[in-house]
Amino acid sequence: MNNKHSAQNQKTYGVVGIGNAIVDVLADVADDFLDEHRLEKGMMKLMDEEGIKALHERVASCARESGGSAANTMAGLASLGNSVAFMGKVRDDDLGNIFEKGLNDLGVVYCTKKASTGGDPTACCVVLTTPDAQRTMNTCLGISGTLGPEDIDEKIIADSHVIYLEGYLWDSHMAKKAFLKSMEIARQSGGQVALTLSDPFCVHRHREEFLHLIDKHARIIFANEEEIKTLFSAAGFEQAADRCREYDTIFALTRGEMGSVVIKGKEKHIIEAEKNIKVLDTTGAGDMYAAGFLHGYIKGKPLHICGRMGNITAAAVLVHPGARPRASIADILKEKGYDW
């Protein structure tokens, strides 16, 4: 594959991410804790400020770190040596400072001004990990959902090869306008749009709009098996994969222990999962898959190599709690023969 945009060296940023700016609170719990609090394992639940506070008080948190799907992907890309930026809204409060520092320490350019007076707090997600390594996310979106067109740095969007959009934010009317503005700037400046579908329920809520985005705007779609089945109302994965072939779009589809599948028209690549991985926590695996894939993509590598790199970087977060690798994913890729 020859990625034309990879030769456009005049652009400063490889990727700019736009998504929810969230601080993750990580905690280990037993299965009966989920039953007690009527939480569905492996899913994301939106909660109000009082609800998230009450849940937080009932768990022994392991750590607090900057998170959010798109932000995690930008963190991964930065750790691989790419020039990346992130746009997402936080309050000028304790959690907001944790979020900003977490990105800055990794070399991500955080370019959204923090809100300073009144209103909702910085978003928080209590991530509950059960003994089977499944993570159940409970999120108070706080101020993050108020991201609007005025928060979009037009110069940075125009100066980026790829803009990476987090599907979760499509729930917000103002954030939707911010996305549409960003996509138009990218179109005018020769950039490309990547969209992660985020969650099956999110896809169900916005199915027709997402299909329109894929048809008219998106160059790359990231989705897991349940998300792509929901998007195409498919009974099984193979049926959904066949529907992907109808679009002139790259679909990078993750399937857990079955690896990933990358589809573009008649081109289909099945990439086996990494072997001998002891899974402790699946938090952030999809986000880090996108980081590895996009790292290869902006370097102009073939799609099957991009998918392989995504599998490797995803596996790097499965072996410990939290959404971001603790070992150098650049070194891990180099050991596998991908020294770019």
Report the alpha-carbon distance of residue 199 to residue 323 in Å, rounded. Answer: 16
Domain ranges of the chain: 4-20+67-119+143-335
Take residue 122 and report the two structure tokens written for it: 């910085």
Share of the chain above pLDDT 70, in %: 94
**What is the pLDDT, as a whole number, of residue 282?**
67
The residue-averaged pLDDT of 262-279 equals 90
- Whether the per-residue pLDDT at 183 is higher than 90: the answer is yes
Between CA 184 and CA 56 the distance in angstroms is 40
Does 134 score more than 90 pLDDT?
Answer: no
Averaged pLDDT, 130-134: 88
Q: Give the mean model confidence (pLDDT) for residues 283-309.
A: 94
**What is the pLDDT at residue 1?**
41
Q: Please compute the mean of the pLDDT values over residues 17-44 and round it to a whole number.
A: 91
Closest CA to 252 of 240, 239, 264: 264
CA separation for the pair 212, 221 (Å, rounded): 12
pLDDT digits (tens, 9 = 90+) for 220-232: 999 999 999 999 9
The pLDDT value given to residue 317: 81
Q: Pick the residue with more confidence: 134 or 310?
A: 310
Chain segment 193-202, per-residue pLDDT in tens: 999 998 899 9
Closest Cα to residue 253, out of 280, 278, 234?
234
3-state secondary structure of 6: helix
The domain defined by 4-20+67-119+143-335 carries CATH number 3.90.1150.10? no
